[in-house]
């Protein structure tokens, strides 16, 4: 914690010290305010030192405003200068003993470090810039404390937690442990066998999701190729109420985070109000799943910013993980606040049911779009679509082979692009368009 609320006398004393020790000029010190003392010092220091506003190559300070680069610079302060400043701030009772001790520990840990030996940034203080960032973010954290109480009240009102905790939460995990409908899987505690690990995860999931018991569960590890790499995929096959499901989970690890998505398919078929979501956590070993209705999801889905160097003012806010559009290794997740079209989020709450997918498929078939397929091929294609994750507003034709052509000059082949594009159109016409005698002399990079 910082010290008690700063008085004008304390702030003026610190200002005078900063002027006398040539940290700031008299004109620069006028920007220092009593309300957000250390944040105003941080901003003034950026002006005097010329730290970049952001962008390529900048030292990013999350959540704190950046200032444009000036024409002049001040000479850097020595370790002794910074040490005396820390002691002065403490002697003026602008920080309490616990903060002072933490500062001293971080500062001693940052002395005389070689670049290659430095611990993760935020665990040490080695420059005056580090010091002002630490104090500014600590100050913001203290001023945001009342927001934690409000946040807990909102979670309680939404039925996510039952009551206020006996002790104030100190981390996101503390808050997550208050949630009622949740499942926590620790990969380090799962069986060594990938197949057995998935079977255990499915058993635990059935406890969280009512009526989700599966039958004929079979897990196999099968090879596949991705971007020229030979990889492995965990292939999970099971049935629920007579409906077969197949899930390809890449990479083959002890329970991939998105393994729960097929339970959202089950919840969709049941017409349930709730869906499963995972929580973004810094730990790779934990999978934290929440069962949320639409209102609960709407409250938790919004983005609140990333981690900070020393402190995160929004450390208490739960951040839901995103939606994985393609089942490939290292595919980035798309945040849930992303919209496909107005009123349609990429969200498990907007998943299409099997009957809705079949209705769309039948409509397209009735106008002849699938006339190139026989009945067996149509049944196979429909089954694939019903086994996929399609949301409202997403055309099902995009998920079908040889039904659409993606053409982008920035990524298309530079060798005979016109010929390749026309052949692509021919493929999706299924025999209606048969171009021949191509003459493609387009020089992509020299064209003007």
Would you say residue 53 has pLDDT above 70?
A: no
Confidence of residue 228 (pLDDT cuts 50, 70, 90): confident
CB 124 within 8 A of CB 130: yes
CB 175 within 8 A of CB 153: no
Would you say residue 259 has pLDDT above 80?
A: yes
Q: Average the pLDDT over 362-382 and give the result.
A: 91
Classify residue 312 as exposed, middle or buried by CB count within 10 Å of its CB (0-12, 13-18, 19+): buried
Distance CA 426, CA 406 (A): 13
Among residues of the chain, what percentage have pLDDT more than 70?
Answer: 76
Average pLDDT, the chain: 79
pLDDT given for residue 284 in this prediction: 81
pLDDT given for residue 414 in this prediction: 60
The secondary structure of residue 185, as a DSSP letter, is: E
Confidence of residue 303 (pLDDT cuts 50, 70, 90): low
pLDDT given for residue 393 in this prediction: 66
- Pairs from 140-143 (Cβ < 8 Å, separation ≥ 24): 140/36, 140/39, 140/63, 140/311, 140/313, 141/311, 141/312, 141/313, 141/315, 142/1, 142/2, 143/36
Helix, strand, coil percentages in the chain from 3-state DSSP, rounded to 5: 40, 15, 45
pLDDT given for residue 94 in this prediction: 92
Would you say residue 16 has pLDDT above 80?
A: yes
Would you say residue 73 has pLDDT above 60?
A: no
Largest CA distance in the chain: 87
Q: Pick 308 or 437 by higher pLDDT.
A: 437
pLDDT given for residue 72 in this prediction: 46
Would you say residue 61 has pLDDT above 70?
A: no
Measuring CA to CA, which residue among 338, 343, 398, 403 is closest to residue 369?
403
DSSP labels for 220-254? EEEEEEETTEEEEEEEEEEEETTEEEEEEESS--S
CB 126 within 8 A of CB 109: no
Least confident of 116-120, 288-292, 359-363: 116-120
Would you say residue 184 has pLDDT above 50?
A: yes
Least confident of 22-36, 267-281, 284-298, 390-404: 390-404
pLDDT given for residue 425 in this prediction: 83
Question: What pLDDT digit, counting tens, does each position of 98-151 carry?
Answer: 889 989 988 888 776 665 555 565 678 888 888 998 898 888 777 777 888 888
Among residues of the chain, what percentage have pLDDT more than 90?
Answer: 28
pLDDT given for residue 3 in this prediction: 53
Residue 251: cis peptide before it, omega within 30 degrees of 0: yes
pLDDT given for residue 57 in this prediction: 34
CB 389 within 8 A of CB 261: yes
Which residue is it, tokens 């393609």?
A: 326
Q: Average the pLDDT over 187-197 and give the result.
A: 90
Distance CA 23, CA 78 (A): 12
Which residue is it, tokens 């070993």?
A: 285
Sheet holding 275-278, edge to edge: 182-186, 286-292, 275-278
pLDDT given for residue 423 in this prediction: 82
pLDDT given for residue 133 in this prediction: 86
Would you say residue 336 has pLDDT above 70?
A: no
Least confident of 92-96, 217-221, 431-435: 431-435
The secondary structure of residue 279, as a DSSP letter, is: B
Distance CA 96, CA 138 (A): 12
Measuring CA to CA, which residue among 133, 14, 21, 126 is closest to residue 79?
126
Distance CA 290, CA 181 (A): 6
Would you say residue 159 has pLDDT above 60?
A: yes
Distance CA 51, CA 41 (A): 14
Would you say residue 411 has pLDDT above 60?
A: no
């Amino acid at each position: 914690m910082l010290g008690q609320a700063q008085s004008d006398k304390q702030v003026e004393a610190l200002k005078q010290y900063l002027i006398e020790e040539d940290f700031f000029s008299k004109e620069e010190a006028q920007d220092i305010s009593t309300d957000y003392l250390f944040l105003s010092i941080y901003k003034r220091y950026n002006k005097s030192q010329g730290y970049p506003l952001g962008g390529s190559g900048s030292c990013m300070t999350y959540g704190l405003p950046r200032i444009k680069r000036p024409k002049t610079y001040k000479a850097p302060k020595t370790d002794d200068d910074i040490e005396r400043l820390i002691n002065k701030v403490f002697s003026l009772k602008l920080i309490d003993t616990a903060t002072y001790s933490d500062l001293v520990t971080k500062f001693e840990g940052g002395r005389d470090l070689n670049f290659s030996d430095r611990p993760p940034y935020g665990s040490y203080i080695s420059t005056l810039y580090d010091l002002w960032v630490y104090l500014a973010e600590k100050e913001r954290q203290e001023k945001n404390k009342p927001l934690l109480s409000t946040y807990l009240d909102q979670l309680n009102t939404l039925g996510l937690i039952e009551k206020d905790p006996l002790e104030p939460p100190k981390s996101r995990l503390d808050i997550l442990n208050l949630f009622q409908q949740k499942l926590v899987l620790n990969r380090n505690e799962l069986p060594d066998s990938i197949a057995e690990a998935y079977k255990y995860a499915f058993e635990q999931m059935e406890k969280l999701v009512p009526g989700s018991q599966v039958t004929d569960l079979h897990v196999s590890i099968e090879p596949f190729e991705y971007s020229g790499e030979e990889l492995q995929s965990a292939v999970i096959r099971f049935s629920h109420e007579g409906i077969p499901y197949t899930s390809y989970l890449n990479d083959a690890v002890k329970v991939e985070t998105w393994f729960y998505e097929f339970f959202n398919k089950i919840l969709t078929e049941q017409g349930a109000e709730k869906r499963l979501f995972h929580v973004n956590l810094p730990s790779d070993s934990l999978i934290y799943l929440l069962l949320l209705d639409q209102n609960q999801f709407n409250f938790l889905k919004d983005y609140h910013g990333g981690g900070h160097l020393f402190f995160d003012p929004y450390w208490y806010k739960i951040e839901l993980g995103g939606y994985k559009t393609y089942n490939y290794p290292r595919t980035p997740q798309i945040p849930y606040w992303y919209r496909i079209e107005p009123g349609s989020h990429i969200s498990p709450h907007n998943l299409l049911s099997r009957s809705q997918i079949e209705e769309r498929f039948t409509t397209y078939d009735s106008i002849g779009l699938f006339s190139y397929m026989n009945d067996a091929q149509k049944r196979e294609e429909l089954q694939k679509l019903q086994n996929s994750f399609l949301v409202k507003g997403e055309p099902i034709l995009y998920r079908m082979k040889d039904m659409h052509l993606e053409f982008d000059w920035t990524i298309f082949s530079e060798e005979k692009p016109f010929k390749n594009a026309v052949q692509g159109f021919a493929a999706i016409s299924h025999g209606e368009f048969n171009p021949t005698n191509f003459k493609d002399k387009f020089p992509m990079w020299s064209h003007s």
